[in-house]
A and B are shown apart, each in its own frame.
Chain A
Amino acid sequence: MDLENLNGLTGSEFIFEVEKRHIRQFAEAIGDLNPLYVDEEYAAKTSYGGIIAPPTFPIAIGQDSGESLDLGLDQRRMLHGEQEFIYNRPIRPWDILYCQMKVSDVYEREGRKGPMQFLVLDTEMKDESGELVVISRTNIIYRPLRGSHSPV
């Protein structure tokens, strides 16, 4: 399959409302008890001025909303290789985020077992004023299925 066709593919915009309880639940799952995420009184006295979400929280956005981009690819071949977050400002409770997924790059690299295909998926998140909050950039390795080699 030629992944090149997917380059530039853009999903429809979806809205994500950030809840205080979700931030707490996310921090607790990591076992990260930083009061910046859960203690309003503490957070208000810091330079953040209030509660913020943990830095990897954006990964929870768009996961269960069914809004993710349908790439028509075989899930079993997709491997999460790298993750990057580009922050403009921290996410806060009550943020309403306008999100959009896009295939921002498709490329091939020579691996040990032959050419490997890569897909870069960006989710751009903006606030109500249209200001960028964060970009979540996922690098997916699209690997050949094991045992799927056809006999020569």
Chain B
Amino acid sequence: MLIYEGLYEGQKLKSLIKPAVTKVQLVKYAGASGDFNPLHTDVAFAKEIGMQGVIAHGMLVMGFLGEYVMKLAGDTAMPSNFRMRFGAVTIPGDQITCSAFVNNVYEEKGQRFVRLDLIAEKEPEQVVGSGQVVLQFQ
């Protein structure tokens, strides 16, 4: 769990390596999120529109980063802003690694915050998502 006093700019935090994405997971995510675009679940459809096969929901990858952030934050800090830009596509079999670097540690109106730069990669340098989260400490 993050401790405000122990954080410094440029610090790299311990990564999270997710198990490889599976097709079943994409079906589950479609059901849970309500995003039933067949591009994520129907191989025949995906091939029809020129893909090799199904691709993961971009929001699933953001979900991985969300999991990572909440693991780091525990119940000592709460996200106030969380954003992500989508990069390369994720396909079944891809193993996503989530990493974070401390961008800024600051106080505002008597509250303590940390801003983390986030990266989700399927291979080193193959970014599937990059973003930022602002955590407010209790």
Contact = CB atoms under 8 A, between A and B. Distances in A.
Interface of A: 22, 25-26, 28-32, 34, 36, 46-48, 54-56, 59-60, 63-64, 80-87, 90, 137
Given A47-B76, A90-B78, A82 B29 contact: no
5 contacts: A29-B33, A30-B64, A34-B71, A48-B75, A59-B59
A19 to B, nearest CB: 11
B111 interface: no
Interface size class of B (residues with CB under 8 A): 20 to 34
A32 B32 contact: no
Given A54-B70, A63-B34, A82-B86, A87 B79 contact: yes
Contact of B58 (A22, A31, A83, A84): A83
Given A54-B67, A85-B82, A47 B19 contact: no
Interface string B27-64: 01101111110000000000000000000001110111
Nearest to B81: A86
B12 interface: no
Contact of B67 (A32, A60, A83, A87): A32
Query: Which DSSP category, helix, strand, loop or mixed, fits chain A's interface?
Result: mixed
A74 B112 CA distance: 44
B63 A80 contact: no
Nearest to B27: A29
B94 to A, nearest CB: 13
Contacts of A83: 58-59, 62, 83-84, 86
Contacts of B18: 31
B32 A25 contact: yes
A59 B78 CA distance: 18
B25 interface: yes
Contacts of A60: 32-34
Contact of B70 (A25, A36, A86): A36
Contacts of B62: 56, 59, 83
A103 to B, nearest CB: 18
B19 A56 contact: no
A56 B59 contact: yes
A81 B83 CA distance: 11
B120 interface: no
Contact of A30 (B63, B75, B84): B63
A85 B71 CA distance: 18
A135 to B, nearest CB: 10
A97 B104 CA distance: 33
B29 A29 contact: yes
